Structure 1
């Protein structure tokens, strides 16, 4: 289909004019450059253009072609690694967003996304009935459809479209189908995402660590005004205040939900950090990669086989023999493992500072302010201090304050726990030969002239804030188990720090819109077989907490997911991954198991 015919089939650019968001879904992997060029040329364009492209893994071999060499260069600069999943690429200050959903079964992958589409351009091959039912779940009011269909596919596709609520246009031809979503009956159980009902684009974010700063940044990028509240005098004072943190994806024998989520978070964080560095913010990020030492020789062999089976590219992960690992590390290692060329260490506090500085025009910090209670008056969320004085009010509130989030929200079943983590800084000389961060049973991060950061203990429900000699010894012994050149003695300890991680029983974070637990309890019998989309939700209340040890990898993706949910934009991950981190998942399990009686 030619560019002019494609635009005419969807009445573009007229339909996106004066719109806040316009979303175009493409399963042919061909329309993004044309739409982007047309958007740039239109002075009355929508504020944000989303293009969701679904394609097989081979599509990542090369970016799509474009007539404009500047577009080609911009695509090439941010083009993702050749790994499956959802990749979100941003252009023109985030106003043009290309979401690539990559997998070998494109029709199955399309069904796993969650969005409200204004237009579809599809590859008509495959099961027409399944395809059209999926499109009907995503279609916004009056969404348009176009496809090139060979003779044998034309009639089945037309029937499937009409059965799914689309009305085929008289402008269709023998080889081209044009349609519009105009159902005369209910064709879906749930409505696709809509923006939250907020006349004022204002939000309160509670917590100024990695999660809260990332959320504030992603909302500010969409033009929201954010009041950022924290009990400390400066951002990044708790776990986010550690001297450095490691970042890397995880590779397991199966491509589990946790592995896929961590991969998505890792790749999205790299893109956002690069954007901050391009704006001349120094994140104190290492550049030599990160080495993971296997727990055993069998694990090293099994993961090497998994890397080969999944055909991960070498810029994502590489298996390492013991000799290979020692050569990269610059010192003896206990076992082989695997190497992440794009992994490393970074300063969490520097990331937070850069995000706030980059969005300073839209963010009002309220430091040294402790929120003791929140309330909703039917329209606005309000935050109160210990004297019952109101701190701020806004239609949207995001709880990013780790351990305190569950208390403020009154979540069912005390879903989070506190884990004490003591880290150790060794004097220079202890591990001077180490060339890069190394992880395994513990971690070791070179800090240059400041020594080496190692850690960290994992003390569940231990509130002690004092630094313990036993904790230093435990850290040293763990790292010595990976790096035998480290003498297991505490006489080289330079400093220590204690921080508290917030974790859940399933070790997955809490990210997304919170459930209306009072309404759910009232309707417990009907919800005994509920799915996440069935649950009543608290209007305008979201959470981003319980990141455990993976705040650096998860925080930025969490912020983008929450911002997308607030704005009714396409989600940056598959729906099943979002459901695995849904803050309402523990309530949902209790309802399914009959553990909650109707109120």
Structure 2
């Protein structure tokens, strides 16, 4: 396929010149390098180039050919994605060139799960029996005057499907092999919802409340796009609450079925690894371990079942490996109670170091306001304002992100108290039987070797317990739980070097709150009309977003959450499938109440 077939039907590079962003959808995963090179060589290029590409899993078996001498091909090969299904986001040229890969077996299904506004489509439909469903998907995504270039065995059938979906096809010679080309120009309404658009902001300014993992990540992703961010926190320094633990573990989830939670955690894990690698390449020390992470099964039957699941899903060894009890013991350096599975890229990291690195990396665009407690927020129809206890205004901006864990739901005025507090006490052991532990181990609890600083174990899970004091029974509980997976700790009385209590924020479905808040007052006034609503039907609070209730998975979810929110604010392609974004939508609880008829119109 020639470069002219990538560019000429889409009027490139002319159409992307001097634009904020340009989004190119490619079902062949063949256009990226050519687009990137053309963008790289164009002095009048758009600020951000998004390429959304669809790929079968086997296509990831080999990176770009070694005989391609271009530096861009070598850079893509170094960033080559993991061979696992789902959506993976790769960033190049300081984040200005973004490749979002949707990976799976069924191209049409993959495309329908995304959410984006496209400027151009490059399609190979030679294996598509009936293009009507796919053309309807294109119409849901098409921006103004979006162009299509498609290769197909039945051109007339494709042209009819495109025209029925609002596209105007370019006249062609019936006897040539030229592709079908078209432009989105609907003469009637062809879709229920508009695809994503940038939020209406007269200035690229935002307030972020909360300087833990969530707030620092959001600040970083917005600042990286040129936004000026005011970061507010009630503490003197970032990462003082749950993000202030000495270390935290990070790993994906492997379950017997590839659930929504497993898919979301996989996407978050892989994206966090990429962002952390970028920070480390910029010489930030995240205090990240490098020996992997071992998970011990709850029962022997679970260990066998998960080993079968790993084989059934064909996960690559770089992602996860099943472990027998003997294999796991050798890897851990101490005896383990049962087998389990090993995550080569999992491990432990300092949450505070991650927060510090994110803020330092984007310091030019972030203004911290520490020792500042926000008691109220308000919207005046144009900007959001944050106020302190005396009623004084702290800051104002058209966009506000609540990343303040337990306080976020209160500030947003969410109905029904959707979040709960979980007290977690951890313990740091003096030298003991776990001194030989080589890597973090998780299961019924967790154990993280800290070198000369001992072994970190934990953590208790005390729902709605507001006691901030360290308790002796909490230390005993941690030891007993870890002894259930590392028997060397049983029947011993290790000394406690230190303890810490932090409070996690969770929801009833144990999924986080990530995205734009609904306008609950407007929804309740229109409860009858919204009784059968979907997330895109709900009225939304302009410029108000949330990133909180991460529970014990803040390290894995925070970075992806920040990228999703930044993408929503900018109207960019979402970094995860729409189903996953809807599973963490802050409006999901409101939606359930509306569907159950629990609100009556005023």
Same fold by TM-score greater than 0.5: yes
- SS of structure 2 residue aligned to 1:422: strand
> How far off its partner does 1:34 sit?
0.4
Q: Is the 8 A contact 1:33 1:64 kept in 2?
A: no
Q: For residues 269-306 of structure 1, what are the alpha-carbon distances to aligned partners after superposition, in whole Å with 9 as ceiling and x for unaligned?
A: 00000000000000000000000000000000000000
**C-alpha contact (below 8 Å) 2:64/2:77 kept by paired residues:** no
TM-score by length of 1: 0.99
- Within 2, Cα distance between the matches of 1:171 and 1:383? 58
Q: Contact 1:10–1:144 at 8 Å: present in 2 too? A: yes
Q: Which residue of 2 aligns with 1:22?
A: 22
Asked whether the 8 Å contact 2:460–2:478 carries over to 1, the reply is yes
Residue 112, structure 1, aligned to residue 119, structure 2: no
Partner residue in 2 for 1:293: 296
Aligned residue for 2:48?
48
Q: Is 2:409 the counterpart of 1:406?
A: yes
* 1:170 shift after superposition: 2.3
Contact 1:30 1:64 (8 Å CA) reproduced: no
Check whether the contact 1:145–1:178 (CA below 8 A) recurs between aligned residues.
yes
- Count of paired positions: 597
Q: Which structure 2 residues correspond to residues 273-312 of structure 1 after superposition, within 5 A?
A: 273-312=276-315
Separation in 2, partners of 1:402, 1:488 = 38
Distance 1:343 1:409 in 2: 34
Instruction: Identify the residue that residue 272 of structure 2 maps to in structure 1.
Output: 269
Shift of 1:141: 0.4
Q: Residue 192 in 1 paired to residue 195 in 2?
A: yes
Q: Structure 2: how far apart are the matches of 1:207 and 1:330?
A: 39
5 Å-filtered alignment, 1:66-85, equals: 67-85=68-86
Looking at structure 2, the residues matched to 96 and 548 of structure 1 have their Cα atoms a distance apart, in angstroms, of 32
1:208-247 deviations in Å (ceiling 9; x for gaps) = 0000000000000100000000000000000000000000
Residue from 317, 337, 353 that aligns with 1:334:
337
* Counterpart position of 1:567: 570
Taking the aligned partners of 2:472 and 2:433, their CA distance within structure 1 comes to 17
Match of 1:90 in 2: 91
Q: Distance in 2 between matches of 1:559 and 1:308?
A: 32
CA distance in 2, matches of 1:210, 1:6: 40
Name the SS for the 2:19 alignment partner: coil
Instruction: Supply the distance in 1 between the matched residues of 2:219 and 2:124 (Cα, whole angstroms).
Output: 38
Question: 1:103 — aligned with what?
Answer: 104
Counterpart secondary structure, 2:498: strand
Name the SS of the counterpart of 2:75 in structure 1.
helix
Q: What is the rounded CA distance, in whole Å, between the counterparts of 1:172 and 1:268 in structure 2?
A: 46
Counterpart of 2:509 in structure 1 is 506
Tell me how far apart the structure 1 counterparts of residues 116 and 152 of structure 2 sit (CA, whole Å). Answer: 25
Residue of structure 2 equivalent to 1:532: 535
Provide the secondary structure at the position in 1 that maps to 2:87: strand
In structure 2, how many angstroms separate the alpha carbons of the residues matched to 1:133 and 1:383? 43
Q: Deviations over 1:189-212 (max 9, x none)?
A: 000000000010000000000000
> What is the alpha-carbon distance in structure 1 between the residues aligned to residue 528 and residue 420 of structure 2?
29
1:585 and 1:336 mapped to 2: Cα distance? 37
Matches of 1:2 and 1:483, distance apart in 2: 59
Shift of 1:62: 2.1
For residues 96 and 475 of structure 1, what CA distance do their matches in structure 2 show?
46
Alignment of 1:114-513 (within 5 A): 114-124=115-125, 125-126=127-128, 127-150=130-153, 153-170=154-171, 174-175=176-177, 176-513=179-516
Query: What is the CA distance between 1:487 and its match in structure 2?
Result: 3.5
Range that drifts further, 88-97 or 141-150: 141-150
Point out where structure 1 has 5 or more consecutive residues left out of the alignment: none
Matched, 1:577 2:580: yes
Q: Secondary structure at the match of 2:582?
A: helix
User: Superposition RMSD on alpha carbons, in Å?
Assistant: 1.0
How far apart are the structure 2 equivalents of 1:219 and 1:405?
A: 19
State the TM-score, normalizing by the size of structure 2: 0.98
Q: Secondary structure at the match of 1:527?
A: coil
Structure 1 residues 307-364: Cα deviation after superposition (integer angstroms, max 9, x where no partner): 0000000000000000000010001000000000000000000000000000000000
Deviations along 1:13-71, whole A, 9 cap, x unmatched?
Answer: 00000000100000011100000000000000000000000111111112345955211
Preserved contact between residue 168 and residue 183 of structure 2 (Cα < 8 Å): yes
Moved more, 174-183 or 389-398: 174-183
1: CA distance, partners of 2:112 / 2:207? 33
1:80 offset after TM fit, Å? 1.2
Deviation at 1:430, TM superposition (A): 3.7
Q: Which runs of 5+ in 2 are unaligned?
A: none
Query: Displacement, 1:429?
Result: 3.2
CA contact (8 A) 1:520 1:527 kept: yes
> Which moved further from structure 2: 141-150 or 449-458?
141-150
Q: Provide closer, same or farther for how the CA distance between residues 172 and 418 of structure 1 changes in structure 2, counting only shifts above 3 A.
A: farther
SS at match of 1:526: coil
| 3-state DSSP of counterpart to 2:338 | coil
CA contact (8 A) 2:166 2:185 kept: yes
- Checking the alignment, whether the CA contact within 8 Å between 2:524 and 2:600 is kept in structure 1 is yes
5 Å matches for 1:52-63?
Answer: 52-63=52-63
Q: Work out whether residues 473 and 490 of structure 1, in 8 Å CA contact, stay in contact via their aligned partners in 2.
A: no
2:39 alignment partner in structure 1: 39
